[in-house]
Amino acid sequence: MILSVSRRTDIPACYSDWFFERLKEGFVYARNPMNPHQLSRIALSPEVVDCIVFWTKNPAPMLGRMEELSAYQYYFQFTLTGYGRDIERNVPHKREVMLPVFQRLSGQIGSRRVLWRYDPVLFTKTYTPEYHRKAFRQIAETLCGYTKKCIISFVDSYAKNRKNMQTAGVYELPQAELEDFARELCKIAGENGMELASCAEEMDLTHCGIAHNCCIDKSLIEELTGSGIKASKDKNQREACGCVESVDIGAYDTCPNGCIYCYASRGPEYVQKNREKYEVHSPLLCGIVEEGDRITERKAVSLRDTR
């Protein structure tokens, strides 16, 4: 089993104490977002968890506890952009705080296990292609030697972020300009020892030197585990997503980062309401088992090919 921690919320930044408590207890409950009264009990033993994929904008709360992951294979997808607080409202200052955190994490666990996400790319009157080129270069030069791969995507419009996108004045670049922009980022990444890849992009950028990426990456997991992984494409993700199947233990409407492009939150009032339910010893993130909830044991088996 591959554990996703988490596409739905920033567990490393906001709920790392809860996560480490779950590892100690050996299980977690996850609520089905499509059927809220359906809960899955998921085993977390190293025997069934082949790899943990962390998604975060700030793993600083975990840095002093990395030894607690010693029984597991894992890697981080670390989102680090050039946006200010008008776009990423509650993320600490990038140059002063987050770049040093990225370097510290890479120093602890190695550059292969920290993937840099410059993601999503959106264009406004402030965040022009020229702005992004400059910001991307500054970050890439600072992270040179601290990561092997950078992942980009262009912002998508969802029901949960559409109003914010319109308010911010987000616009699309013409196809030719977008491809030229992508080529420039690819060149900058290469100059700093990084492969540039795209995330869930329907647009083919391979002719710009940018490969389609798999965030839940079978080949990287096989490299880390030293074993073949019998995993299929994740059918729950978008058509353009190349990720293999994983189990996500996060919850929507729980991330306080406040990014205007977020697809996982309906707004700060919903997040605040859920965060008031947070209890570090609960098996469920930001909630408790309620009357009418049904708990089923999710089949958890290792996907390693032991032949």
Q: Hey, how many other C-beta atoms are within 10 angstroms of the C-beta on 28?
A: 24
> Using one digit for the tens of pLDDT, what is the confidence trace for 134-166?
999 999 999 999 999 999 988 776 667 788 888
From residue 214, give the alpha-carbon distance in Å to each of 49, 119, 132, 176, 201: 19, 14, 23, 25, 11
Dihedrals phi, psi of 151, to nearest 5 degrees:
-115, 130
Least confident piece of the model among 83-97, 142-156, 207-221: 207-221
Radius of gyration of the chain (CA): 19
> Using one digit for the tens of pLDDT, what is the confidence trace for 246-283?
999 999 999 999 999 998 999 999 999 999 999 999 99
d(CA 69, CA 54): 12
Place of tokens 């997808």: 77
From residue 226, give the alpha-carbon distance in Å to each of 48, 51, 293, 300: 15, 11, 39, 20
d(CA 12, CA 56): 6
159 vs 66, higher pLDDT: 66
201 pLDDT band (50/70/90 cuts)? low
d(CA 97, CA 231): 37
For position 240, what pLDDT does the model report?
A: 62
- pTM of the shown model: 0.94
Average pLDDT value for the chain:
93
Element holding 78 (H helix, E strand): strand 74-79
Q: Is the pLDDT of residue 118 over 80?
A: yes
For position 157, what pLDDT does the model report?
A: 63
Q: Are strands 304-305 and 228-229 parallel, antiparallel or unpaired?
A: antiparallel
> Using one digit for the tens of pLDDT, what is the confidence trace for 36-59?
899 999 999 999 999 999 999 999
Q: Evaluate whether 33 touches 286 at the Cβ level (below 8 Å).
A: no
Nearest to 140 by CA among 112, 148, 76: 148
Is the omega angle on the peptide bond into residue 6 within 30 degrees of 0, that is, cis?
yes
Is the omega angle on the peptide bond into residue 256 within 30 degrees of 0, that is, cis?
no
Give the amino acid at 293.
Answer: D
d(CA 9, CA 76): 14
Place of tokens 């409202």: 89
Q: Evaluate whether 127 touches 87 at the Cβ level (below 8 Å).
A: yes
Dihedrals phi, psi of 132, to nearest 5 degrees:
-65, -40
Structure tokens at 48: 């069934």
